[in-house]
Amino acid sequence: MTSFKTLDDLEDGQRVLVRLDLNSPVEDGEVQDNRRFDRHAETVRELAERDFRVVLMAHQGRPGRDTFVSLEQHAEILGDHVGRDVAFVDDTFGDRAISAINDLEGGEILLLENTRMCDEELPEEDPETKAETEFVRALAPAFDAYVNDAYSAAHRSHASLVGFPLALPAYAGRVMETEYEANTAIAERAFDGEVTMVVGGTKATDVIDVMTALEDKVDTFLLGGIAGELFLRADGVPVGRDIEGMDLFDDQWEANETTIRSLIDDYGDQIRLALDLAYEDEDDERAEIEVGDIEEKDRAFLDVGSNTVSEYAATIESSEAVFVKGALGLFEDERFADGTVGVLEAISETDCFSVVGGGDTSRAIEMYGMSEDDFGHVSIAGGAYIRALTGERLVGVEVLRE
Ligand SMILES: Nc1ncnc2c1ncn2[C@@H]1O[C@H](COP(=O)(O)OP(=O)(O)OP(=O)(O)O)[C@@H](O)[C@H]1O
Ligand SMILES: O=C(O)[C@H](O)COP(=O)(O)O
């Protein structure tokens, strides 16, 4: 299906430069462990076991943000997941980096400093320009091959992602391979039965883009979350009131009202909206109301209701393939997790082909004790996932294919 080379095509024992995506949440300066470490650990472990000298590159945050920190902590967390030491050098491509690389023995692993600390990394330029940067020209000669495992960053035309594949023989890592295959399935595969897509979350434009790109691939869109409420509002239901401190509705409504209305007009038969919604009552408990009984915009809705969950679950049960993008409610609060957890459980109980994506949404799987093994694929990508779903090509994947 793919035309890129993989680790199966690499001759053992070489010097490999490997790009991972370890971009993680950072709280009070502390890097938080997450599934990206676990997934990439497989690629790294395989390379170390095959006696490669393994040098890793990754980014964290962006200059100017609190999350823009050194990768020193990442080396330790990754080492725990790999089950081997991951050394760290606080240099990206200077003399200290080169000398640490040259000191490596077969089977040893070294992580270089945050690629975004290098000035030439970030400006979005074409691969040819990136291949000419000092960063790539200085580092590439120290290696025999380049491996890109950072599918979730592959929509960025940054030097570490698109420059090196032009300077070295380039291969896809295991995460790159599996993410690519699962996330492009909806655009590239033909399914025999019904294809269902659960769309929610907070970003109306993501939902609109997915629906527009996939209307001829998806039989039924099940809507929820803030995006679902915007569709309900277009359908004449007085919903869409922000909870304090959030600004999720009015700007999005203004910017997207016309598009949402025309989607409902054009594809109404494929779109299913919530039948009931949940809110917080005077006693701080979850309460539900039928959509038809909502008379004015006097409260914030934080989840879809139980009738909606049953209906959506029944549709999922009869589907051949189910894709998820975005949560159906504020699942971080247990009282408003029923919608998101209900559809995820329905998916996990059927043997349909399934892909769950979006950084926040997939977090619900472990939060509520479900197992990733019960899903076809749980993506670790955010921006790259939505681009793949909408058929957009990812520059970092394209250079590997070339
Ligand atoms: N009714 C609601 N009110 C408030 N928040 C909601 C509601 N419904 C869903 N959410 C929030 O939406 C978030 C997920 O939305 P988002 O659009 O970011 O989806 P994602 O695809 O998981 O993430 P990302 O695009 O960031 O990778 C969840 O954290 C959830 O709390
Ligand atoms: O975390 C991500 O989604 C990727 O690493 C891309 O990060 P960016 O949006 O800061 O480029």
Name the residue with tokens 């408990």. Answer: 285
Q: Identify the CA nearest to 320 among candidates 159, 128, 192, 214.
A: 192
**pLDDT value for 2:** 60
In a domain, 392, yes or no: no
**pLDDT value for 187:** 79
Ligand nearest to the CA of 382: 1
Ligand nearest to the CA of 356: 1
Residue 167 sits in the same domain as residue 213:
no
**pLDDT value for 298:** 86
Question: How far does residue 193's CA lie from ligand 2's centre (Å)?
Answer: 34
Question: How far does residue 281's CA lie from ligand 2's centre (Å)?
Answer: 38
Q: Report d(CA 40, CA 303) in Å as an integer.
A: 33
Number of domains in the chain: 2
Q: Which atom, in ligand 1's list, is nearest to the CA of 363?
A: 22
DSSP state of 392: P
ipTM, interface predicted TM-score of the complex = 0.93
Q: Name which residue sits closest to atom 30 of ligand 1, judged by CA.
A: 330
- Phi and psi angles of residue 222, each rounded to the nearest 5 degrees, phi first: -100, 115
Question: How far does residue 376's CA lie from ligand 1's centre (Å)?
Answer: 21
DSSP state of 54: E
Q: Report d(CA 227, CA 230) in Å as an integer.
A: 5
Average pLDDT, the chain: 95
Ligand nearest to the CA of 152: 2
CATH number at residue 176: 3.40.50.1260
In a domain, 385, yes or no: no
Q: Report d(CA 166, CA 398) in Å as an integer.
A: 11
- pLDDT tens across 143-162, in order? 999 999 999 999 999 999 99
- pLDDT tens across 162-204, in order? 999 999 999 999 999 999 999 988 878 889 999 999 999 999 9
In a domain, 149, yes or no: yes
Please work out whether the CB of residue 303 comes within 6 Å of at least one atom of ligand 2: no
Question: How far does residue 167's CA lie from ligand 2's centre (Å)?
Answer: 24
- Residue 349 scores a pLDDT above 70: yes
Residue 147 sits in the same domain as residue 239:
no
Alpha helices for 106-203 (secondary structure H)? 127-131, 134-139, 164-167, 174-183, 185-188
Residue 13 sits in the same domain as residue 125:
yes
Residue 55 sits in the same domain as residue 83:
yes
Please work out whether the CB of residue 209 comes within 6 Å of at least one atom of ligand 2: no
Which of the four pLDDT bands, split at 50, 70 and 90, describes residue 391? confident
**pLDDT value for 375:** 96
In a domain, 375, yes or no: no
User: Which CA distances in Å does 45 have to 77, 85, 108?
Assistant: 14, 11, 10
Please work out whether the CB of residue 361 comes within 6 Å of at least one atom of ligand 1: yes
Residue 86 sits in the same domain as residue 146:
yes
Helix (H, G, I), strand (E, B) or coil at 11: coil
230 membership: H or E segment, kind and range: helix 225-234
Instruction: State the residue range of the domain holding 137.
Output: 7-180+397-401
Name the residue with tokens 């004449």. Answer: 236
- Residue 248 scores a pLDDT above 90: no
Please work out whether the CB of residue 121 comes within 6 Å of at least one atom of ligand 2: no
Residue type, 283: D
Residue 255 sits in the same domain as residue 171:
no
Question: What does the block give as tokens for 118?
Answer: 């290098």
Q: Name which residue sits closest to atom 6 of ligand 2, judged by CA.
A: 153
- Residue 1 scores a pLDDT above 60: no
Residue 143 sits in the same domain as residue 248:
no
Strand partners, 86: 109
Q: Find the mean pLDDT for residues 76-102.
A: 98
Burial class (CB in 10 A: 0-12, 13-18, 19+), 296: exposed
Contacts 24+ apart (CB under 8 A), 245-250: 248/202
Please work out whether the CB of residue 225 comes within 6 Å of at least one atom of ligand 1: yes
Please work out whether the CB of residue 153 comes within 6 Å of at least one atom of ligand 2: yes
Say if residue 358 carries a ligand binding annotation: yes
Percent of the residues in the chain that have a pLDDT greater than 70, as a whole number: 99
Question: How far does residue 330's CA lie from ligand 1's centre (Å)?
Answer: 7
Q: Find the mean pLDDT for residues 48-55.
A: 97
**pLDDT value for 21:** 98
Q: Identify the CA nearest to 323 among candidates 185, 158, 224, 173.
A: 185
Of 14-23, 37-46, 185-194, the range with the lowest mean pLDDT is 185-194
In a domain, 378, yes or no: no
Q: Answer yes or no: are the C-beta atoms of 87 and 111 closer than 8 Å.
A: yes
Question: How far does residue 282's CA lie from ligand 2's centre (Å)?
Answer: 40
Question: How far does residue 224's CA lie from ligand 1's centre (Å)?
Answer: 10
Say if residue 74 carries a ligand binding annotation: no
Helix (H, G, I), strand (E, B) or coil at 354: strand
**pLDDT value for 140:** 98
Please work out whether the CB of residue 240 comes within 6 Å of at least one atom of ligand 1: no
Q: Which atom, in ligand 1's list, is nearest to the CA of 203?
A: 17
Question: How far does residue 137's CA lie from ligand 1's centre (Å)?
Answer: 41
Say if residue 339 carries a ligand binding annotation: no
In a domain, 376, yes or no: no
Strand partners, 303: 278
Q: Report d(CA 165, CA 155) in Å as an integer.
A: 15
- Residue 243 scores a pLDDT above 70: no
Q: Which atom, in ligand 1's list, is nearest to the CA of 339?
A: 8
Question: How far does residue 153's CA lie from ligand 2's centre (Å)?
Answer: 6
- Residue 245 scores a pLDDT above 80: no
In a domain, 151, yes or no: yes
Residue 154 sits in the same domain as residue 273:
no
Residue 217 sits in the same domain as residue 106:
no
Residue 155 sits in the same domain as residue 235:
no
Helix (H, G, I), strand (E, B) or coil at 165: helix
Residue 148 sits in the same domain as residue 233:
no
pTM: 0.90
In a domain, 46, yes or no: yes
Residue 31 sits in the same domain as residue 123:
yes
Of 57-71, 75-89, 173-187, 318-332, the range with the lowest mean pLDDT is 173-187
Q: Best mutation site among 20, 21, 39 for ligand 2, i.e. most ligand atoms within 8 A of its Cβ?
A: 21
**pLDDT value for 86:** 98
**pLDDT value for 297:** 86
Please work out whether the CB of residue 302 comes within 6 Å of at least one atom of ligand 1: yes
Q: Name which residue sits closest to atom 4 of ligand 2, judged by CA.
A: 153
Burial class (CB in 10 A: 0-12, 13-18, 19+), 298: exposed
